[in-house]
Amino acid sequence: MRKKFIFITGGVVSSLGKGIASASIGTLLESHGYKITILKFDPYLNVDPGTMNPFQHGEVFVTEDGAETDLDLGHYERFTNAHITKKNNATSGQIYNAVLMREREGGYLGKTVQVVPHITDEIKKRIVDVSHSVDIVISEIGGTVGDIESLPFLEAARQMHIQKEKDVLHIHLTLVPYIKAADELKTKPTQHSVGRLREIGIQPEILLCRTERPLTDDIKEKIALFCNVKKEAVIEALDTDLIYEIPLIFSRQNLDRIILGYLGLKAEKDNELTKWKKIVYTLRNPDKEVVIGVAGKYVKLQDSYKSIYEALIHGGIANKVRVIYKKIDTELVEKEGIDKIIGNISGIIMPGGFGIRGVEGMIGVVKYVRENNIPFFGICLGMQCSVVEFARNVCGLKEAASTECNPETAHPVICLLPRQEEVKMMGGTMRLGGYPCRLKKGTIAYAAYRKSVVYERHRHRYEFNNKYREIFEKKGMVFSGIYPDENLVEIIELTNHPFFVATQFHPEFKSKPFAPHPLFSAFISVSSKSIF
C-alpha cells in the first residue's frame, strides 16, 4: 500500500480546534484498521515551546522520548493509538535551524540557500520521516491561512500534492459564524479563507465548518458552489461541550468514508467506535458530580493545564462521576488567604509550574488540605510545595524552601543535583521524558498501579534533597515511589490522611479517556466519597 498524506489547515480565526479535529480524524481512520500518525507544524520561530510563557502558549506537552511539544500532541495521544515522539512536532525554528546548520557544514556545496526549495524540502522530509511505519500521515499546519509565518508549510503541502497527487488530501477547517442581528449564518468568511488557500495553489477537497448552529442544505450547497467542493464534503463541525463526541459527530456525516474515498482506500471494516459511545454515554449520564479545586499559578489561561483538566475528566469516567473543576489562583491565595477562596470542594489537585510567583500561595493551600483532611494530589511543583510545607510545619524546619525560590535557604529540601549546577543553557538541566519508578508495596500508589515498576514522564529541574529523607520519614511521610538509577524521590504520601499523594512526574500526560491514569482514578474515587 502506498503511503497516504492528509494536510489539515485552518482559516478565518485561530482556536477553531484543528488539533482536536486532526485527532478525531485519526480516531476514525484507526477505526477502519489503518495505522496513522499525526504531525504538528508550528509556524513560530522558537525551537520548541519549552521556554515559552504558559500564559501565551499554553501547556507544554512532553513525549515519552523527552520532547517538549505543542499541546495538540496531547490530543493526538489521547484520541489515538499513534506513537508520538519528538519527530511529530516541528517548528519554523527547528526547520530553519536544521537548514542553516546543514549550510554551515557544507551540505549544500556552496549553493544559494532559499525558502524554496531548501526550507520546503526540509518540511517534506519531516513528513516522510514519520511515514515509514504507518499507512497514513496527518499533518496539522498551525496558524491561520493568510499568516506570513505558515506560507513555507503551505507551499510544501502544495508541492506534495503535485508530487503525490492521488495520495494527498487537503482538509480545511473554517468558521461559519452566526450573526445574531441578522439571525443568519454567514458563509463569506469561509469563501474568503478557501480563496486564500486557492491563491496559494491548494484546493481543499473537504471543508470542516465550525459553527454554533446546524448548517442547512442551502448553506452547504452555497459553500460547496463557491468553494469548489462537493456538497457531501462540507462537514458540519457543530459546537459541543464534549470533545470526545467529535469523532462520533464526524462519523455520523460519513467523514471517514469520504476521506477513504478520496485517498482510494477501502473501508476495511465497519468503524469500531463502541468505546467512544460508552465514554460519551458515561459523561452524559454520570452517577454523581464532584467538585475539584485546581490550585496553581497559571489558572487564568485554560490551555495552561490542558492535560490536567482532561485527566480529571478521565478519572471521572473511571468512576462514573462528572468532574467539575474550580480554579484557585495561588497568587490570589497569597493576597486574600485560602479561606475566602476555597469554597465548596471535595478535593484539590496542584499542577506543575516554574518560578517563585504564587509558590507561597501553593504552600498555603497544601497546609490547608493537610490539616483539614481534604483529598490532595500534587504534581511536579505541587509535589515540591508539599515537601516544603511538610518541612516547615511538621518537621520544624521553618526556613525550608526550594533553592529555585530561595538559593540561600538554610534547609534546601528541594534542590538541583550537583551535576545540574554546572549546566547554564536554559532547559539543559531538565529531566525530560519517560523514567522508571519503583513502587513501595502497601502504599496508595502501589494499590492504584497494581505493579512494582511504572514508567512516567518528567519535566522538571529540581529534586527532593535526600539529606532530609530520614527526618521526613520519622515525621510520617512515606516515599512510595523511587527512581532506582539515582535513588531520587518520585512519589510522596501521608498515611494519616484520606488521600495525600504527590508525584515528581506528570501522570496527566499518559491518561486517555478509555485508559484513565490510575492515580487520577484513585484521586477522583476518594474525592467523590468526601464531603467538604
What confidence score (pLDDT) does residue 340 get? 77
Pairing of strands 376-379, 347-350: parallel
Band of residue 358 on the pLDDT scale cut at 50, 70, 90? confident
Band of residue 421 on the pLDDT scale cut at 50, 70, 90? low
Burial class (CB in 10 A: 0-12, 13-18, 19+), 67: buried
C-beta atoms surrounding 313 within 10 Å: 23
Band of residue 299 on the pLDDT scale cut at 50, 70, 90? confident
Query: With 80 as the cut, is the pLDDT of residue 125 above it?
Result: yes
Overall average pLDDT of the 257-269 stretch: 90
The active-site residue, picked from 380, 385, 395, 437, is: 380
- Is 458 considered catalytic here? no
Angle between helical axes of 306-319 and 518-527 (0-180°, round to 10): 70
Query: With 80 as the cut, is the pLDDT of residue 152 above it?
Result: yes
Q: Any idea what the Cα angle at residue 216 is, between residues 210 and 220, rounded to 5°?
A: 65
Angstrom distance (rounded) from CA 359 to CA 331: 8
Domains of the chain, each with CATH number or no CATH? 4-278 (3.40.50.300), 287-527 (3.40.50.880)
Long-range contacts of 176-181 (CB under 8 A, 24+ apart): 176/209, 176/210, 176/211, 176/215, 176/219, 176/223, 177/211, 178/211, 178/212, 178/213
Q: What Rg do the C-alpha atoms of the chain give, in angstroms? A: 25
Overall average pLDDT of the 289-303 stretch: 90
* Buried-exposed string 436-451: b where 16+ CB fall within 10 A, e elsewhere: ebbbeeebbbbebbee
Report the Cα–Cα distance between both ends of the chain, in Å, rounded: 58
The active-site residue, picked from 140, 389, 463, 508, is: 508
Query: With 70 as the cut, is the pLDDT of residue 280 above it?
Result: yes
pLDDT tens digits along 16-66: 999 999 999 999 999 999 999 999 999 999 888 877 766 667 899 999 999
- Is 506 considered catalytic here? yes
Before 117, cis peptide (omega within 30)? yes
What are 65's three cell numbers?
522520548
pLDDT tens digits along 485-516: 999 999 999 999 999 999 999 999 999 999 99
Band of residue 531 on the pLDDT scale cut at 50, 70, 90? low
Average pLDDT, the chain: 93
- Is 83 considered catalytic here? no
Query: With 60 as the cut, is the pLDDT of residue 449 above it?
Result: yes
pLDDT tens digits along 317-357: 999 999 999 999 998 888 888 887 887 899 999 998 888 88
What are 285's three cell numbers?
449520564
Q: Which secondary structure element, helix H or strand E, spans residue 69, and what is its range? A: strand 68-69
